[in-house]
Structure 1
Amino acid sequence: MFEVQQAAAGEWAVVAGGGRALLVAETDAARLRDLLAAVRAGFAETLDALVAHGLSRTPSFALIDVSAETALLAVRGTGLASVSERGSERVVAATGVSSWVELQLPGVESATLGPAATGATLPLTEGVVRGSTLRWTPAVTAEDVGATVAAPPKRERDTGPVEAVPAVVPEPEEIVAGPAVEPFADAPLPEPGTEPEPEPAAEPDPHTRVPEATIADVPETPPAAPAAAPAVAAEPAGYDHLFGATMVRSVEEAAVRPAEADEEAAPSRIDLPGFITDSFPSGADRLVGDHDGLTVMSGDLPERPAFEPDASDAGPAPAPQTFAVLLSDGRREPLSAPVVVGRAPSVTAVPSLRGARPVTLTSAEDDISRSHVAVAVEGDSVVVTDLHSRNGTMIVLPGKSPQKLRSGEPTTVVLGTVIDLGSGATLTVEAAG
């Protein structure tokens, strides 16, 4: 937990959350709300939010992150920090630095952002308050958290006697007796090997109606054919007048057999309309075989000449894009091979860049790193990588706000991008002439 010395009014405010605290010279309430969300997100996200409107409009600040084992500290402008490490005190300031000073504190014991506290301090876990001094110590964190978070009250177990609940026994359902069944008469059983006597036929029901006419049985021998009577045209019955009379045939006569081909019989002539017969070619012009004279075969078509593209239509192949960087001292370095730029660059700092060459660039304050940044061409793009520099690297894309590169992460840029190493040392990406 952090301790804050509050101020009634002033330009400094404290933003805390997620194990990070920021002392910033900011008075805009909306801007402070945005910084609170960034502080909750992380250390790098807070730096990105601070420089979102450009490095020139970035306020003075002091930022500390104690959420991990190794604490991180960043100081800019008039911001000030006092750090205690292994029993020794040191003051971190950003005097003469155009961006900010960023440090890793693996053995930090306590830290104070801003001037030393002269009055009483109040604890702060998360939020935004007006304040001029912020102090952090690991011992205070453990004590305050234990005192602030109260354990919920324990609930007493009820161990009194338990009253027995009488068991509910369902009442038996009433059984309703069905109709009485008469016992079988004592009838003698048939002896083995004898057939039972057939039961007498039941008398017909007087209410059953028996038709007068029934279907007679078919006689075993067909009756003699009656004498031929004169044919009398009978009226068709049912639907025979629509389909004709029904014909009765034997299986042999109704069998379907293929018609015998008559080789000498000529095919029957079919009368076709004139517009079809006039379009047929004459017999002399017809081809031999089953060709009808109308279908065009693929073999009858004339050969088409092979298509040959005109060489004059194809333009020259576009030349690959080449790039260069314009240094702040007026030099122009082509990117035909990767370059490592810094105060005293060494290509061994980036073993993955084969064929890289060092480019020395100095500044007025001489505060850029020895091997500060690497610039290389990959395909049709330029890739910039910050080589874990001390003060970081800013890039300004055309028409965009400045943004800080993440250490060790390659970033693709476009033509016209300005790479700012700090203290006026810049590189501008251009097309190689």
Structure 2
Amino acid sequence: MSAGGGPAWSFRGGEWFGIFGPSATVVLPPSEKDRVARLWELVDDGAGFDETLDALISAGLRELPGFVLVSDDDSETKVVIRGAARVHLATGAEVVHVEGDDATTWVERSVRGVTRVRIEVADEAEPAEALDGVLDGGLVRLASAEHPPAVEEAEPFVEVEPEDVADHDGLTRAPETVPVDLVAPREPGIPGQPPAPPVTARPVARLLLPDGDTVDVDRSVLVGRAPEASRIVTEGEPRLVAVESPHQEVSSTHLEVRPGSGADHGCAVATDLGSTNGSVVVQPGLPPEDLRPGVTVQLVPGAVVDLGDGVSIEVIDA
């Protein structure tokens, strides 16, 4: 498996949270959204197996119904899995199948020479509703993920002769063939969310920044201490807006504001990108609302998004 700037994964949209970093991948069930932002910051900063596992179980396992952790250490791939999830590790000669178990603390395996990994955490959505993509770091909502990315020309995941292969529980069984997914072209916007046009002819709104400058929302606008376009799947060049954060409360790539699509067409929409301290939006006449990571919210003129550390962004008419 590749290292460096982060291994590339293909994914199929679903309900679970997938957190991808340069040294570790974590997948959490929908019930664990409160853990997502903290773990994303950790994993994105390059945390490895031990540090990530410690963070996962720091509050105890009783309230953590399931998770998947996959990490590389030299030529060894480590997997820890709990709950309703499966990981398939191909080594070229065989496939090692690792399955979670609600009745145990967790299942852990270390496998050398892994050439392909597939994570399955739920039944995949129907093709008409799923959003497929490829990314090398960040946060997505998924049902499955595969590294290296599945491609249309690829052979099936691995197909081996029906001979006994050691399973994670010490028993033996005939290995299975795991089919490969076909990956659709990358869509602009947040993975797992409806696609948005990369650039609109006219801005749907403007953002009033703390320093008094304004930014047109005619494409994806990424706001943070040091925003990076690679943190989300996007098409075209987004606008990068850096803001001051004296106490480091604003994440590097904290928030995306972009033109909406579908029912949100003609409006600006905002998505918290798994920030450490979160984002709060106040719409005119409504109480404050916490933005959930990866969940898009329509913004009306007069709305204010608070990123913390004194950084507030107001939405004004275009």
Task: State the TM bucket, normalised to the shorter chain.
Answer: 0.3 to 0.5
Which one has the largest radius of gyration? 1
Higher strand share: 2
Structure 1 length as normaliser, TM-score?
0.28
Q: Which has the higher contact order (CA 8 A, sep 6+)?
A: 2
Structure 2 length as normaliser, TM-score?
0.37
